[in-house]
């Protein structure tokens, strides 16, 4: 019998293919039914200044605030800009480290959707010396 | 049959459990071309779920730009040594797997 997948909203909602096809951050937010994020110092984002292997770039994004609904990670010059959407319960700190592909030097975004509807973001430019989406 | 997901969950002195996960998956973005010029079709993890002692604590949807053999890390609150951390993934071909580890402390 197949394992019972988690009963959180993300596990139950259909895969947002439109959002993962989006070719710009604005299109990805729109496809997810979100507005425009506001830059906030409460959103932490760690990424290297220079990534030598675009195939695997370790980024950390999230916040120490409580009341988080979703954490999104985006790479704005990738063919598919949205990398990941996380939905943590209260048992998980809303900060995630993930290895992503970067096709070329780009701006990485960490975006946090709060329970109260606020959309907060932090960005960082990452220079890539060997691109990783088609290599 | 995919290779197992490696999971390490370590309880720290501050009460947080650091969970480090290494999944085994090709994660083809659908952008890569073979030597003959043909596009390799997208084949990647779409859904990730984590449970603590059978209770769902995290879900994620991933796109095609997550790296091959993806590494994921986060902190759990309120876990104790011996608690079970189960990590499951499903890819765009409908393949799933679930692996489990115990919190060490």
| A43-73 per-position pLDDT tens digit | 999 999 999 999 999 999 999 999 999 999 9
Side-chain half-sphere of B87: how many Cα atoms within 13 Å? 22
Alpha-carbon separation of residue A51 from A47, A126, A128, B64, B78 (angstroms): 9, 7, 5, 19, 35
DSSP category for residue B66: B
Binary contact (A91, B46; C-beta < 8 A)? no
Tell me the ipTM for this assembly: 0.95
Query: What average pLDDT does range A99-117 have in this prediction?
Result: 97
Is the per-residue pLDDT at B40 higher than 70? yes
Task: Please report residues of A whose CB lies closer than 8 A to that of B75.
Answer: 92-93, 95
pLDDT above 50 for A2? no
Considering only A3-7, B74-78, B100-104, which range has the smallest mean pLDDT?
A3-7
User: A5 vs B49: CB contact, 8 Å cut-off?
Assistant: yes
**CA distances (Å), origin B100, targets A51, B5, B25, B86, B103:** 32, 8, 17, 4, 10
Here the tokens at position B31 are 């952008």
Distance CA(B19)–CA(B103), nearest Å, equals: 9
The model's pTM is: 0.93
- For the record, the structure tokens of A77 come out as 């010059």
């Amino acid at each position: 019998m197949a394992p019972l997948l988690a009963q959180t909203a993300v596990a139950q909602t259909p895969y947002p293919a439109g959002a993962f096809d989006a070719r710009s951050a604005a299109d990805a937010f729109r496809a997810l039914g979100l507005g425009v994020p506001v830059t906030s110092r409460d959103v932490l984002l760690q990424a290297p200044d220079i990534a030598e292997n675009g195939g695997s770039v370790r980024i950390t994004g999230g916040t120490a605030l409580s009341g988080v609904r979703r954490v999104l990670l985006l790479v704005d010059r990738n063919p598919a800009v949205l990398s990941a959407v996380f939905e943590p319960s209260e048992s998980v700190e809303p900060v995630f480290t993930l290895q992503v592909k970067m096709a070329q030097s780009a701006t990485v975004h960490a975006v946090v959707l709060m329970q109260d509807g606020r959309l907060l973001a932090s960005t960082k430019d990452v220079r890539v010396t060997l691109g990783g989406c088609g290599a | 049959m995919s290779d197992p997901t490696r999971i390490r969950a370590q309880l720290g002195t501050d009460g947080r459990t650091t969970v480090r996960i290494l999944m085994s998956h090709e994660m083809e973005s659908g952008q890569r071309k073979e030597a003959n010029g043909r596009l390799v079709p997208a084949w990647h993890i779409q859904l990730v779920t984590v449970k603590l002692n059978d209770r769902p604590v995290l879900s994620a949807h991933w796109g095609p730009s997550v790296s091959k053999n993806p590494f994921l890390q986060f902190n759990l609150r309120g876990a104790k040594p011996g608690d079970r951390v189960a990590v499951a993934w499903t890819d765009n071909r409908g393949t799933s797997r679930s692996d489990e580890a115990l919190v060490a402390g």
